Chain A
Amino acid sequence: GAGVSQSPSNKVTEKGKDVELRCDPISGHTALYWYRQRLGQGLEFLIYFQGNSAPDKSGLPSDRFSAERTGESVSTLTIQRTQQEDSAVYLCASSLAVGNEQFFGPGTRLTVL
């Protein structure tokens, strides 16, 4: 595709349920990043993948958060046992390589009731 795509665009879930968010990066981009934007705040780094290297998970806020990426394609961000403070827009970005310009997707708005 022409840009980074994310699904779903909106997700409403009940506290305690698990959710899975998906990101399709731009074809050929080896680096993929996940960020979170809480209401009224800037973007907060969560995790990034670069090729087949071990991911940098330093931004994940708790062990309820995990992410996977298959090769240089799709990535999924999973949040287990969701809490109300997990409500945010989750943004995915990709770049040709680490250090290059990042292209952002439209985000997934997660609401935990």
Chain B
Amino acid sequence: AQSVSQHNHHVILSEAASLELGCNYSYGGTVNLFWYVQYPGQHLQLLLKYFSGDPLVKGIKGFEAEFIKSKFSFNLRKPSVQWSDTAEYFCAVMIYNQGGKLIFGQGTELSVKP
């Protein structure tokens, strides 16, 4: 069965540190890839998405992610985190031609210390 794995359950960083959250998926065919974020007390919202084209995608709030097909990875990065980035981050995969259902990773909780 297809699955998505996020390497870190909880990451703690100081402000201005760089961030990289890992995401790997298990499926050999065409996929669309997403990172969602859930700030405390808020809805899940889309950070960025990859459908096709340039494998380096930029999202909101200075986040970016790189799709590396050979590694089945879609890692999320931010060069300098802020306290307001404290949230839970979810990687998700949509299998092409299998409907629009998303397969989510377990989530990574990011805590940024001011």
Binding site for B on A (CB under 8 A): 3-4, 31, 33, 35, 40-45, 48, 50, 56, 59, 91, 95, 97-107
Contacts and interface: CB of A to CB of B under 8 A. Distances in A.
A42 B99 contact: no
Given A42-B107, A101-B49, A48 B43 contact: no
A43 B90 CA distance: 9
Contact of A59 (B6, B100, B101): B101
Interface of B: 4, 6, 32, 34, 36, 43-46, 49, 90, 92, 94, 99-107
A48 B104 contact: no
Given A99-B32, A99-B94, A45 B103 contact: yes
Contact of B99 (A4, A35, A98): A98
Contact of B43 (A40, A41, A100, A104): A104
Contacts of A101: 34, 46, 49
A42 B106 contact: yes
Top 7 closest A-B pairs, CB basis? A42-B104, A98-B100, A104-B44, A43-B104, A45-B101, A42-B106, A99-B100
A90 B88 CA distance: 17
B101 A56 contact: yes
Given A42-B105, A91-B44, A99-B32, A48 B100 contact: yes
B43 A106 contact: yes
A69 to B, nearest CB: 14
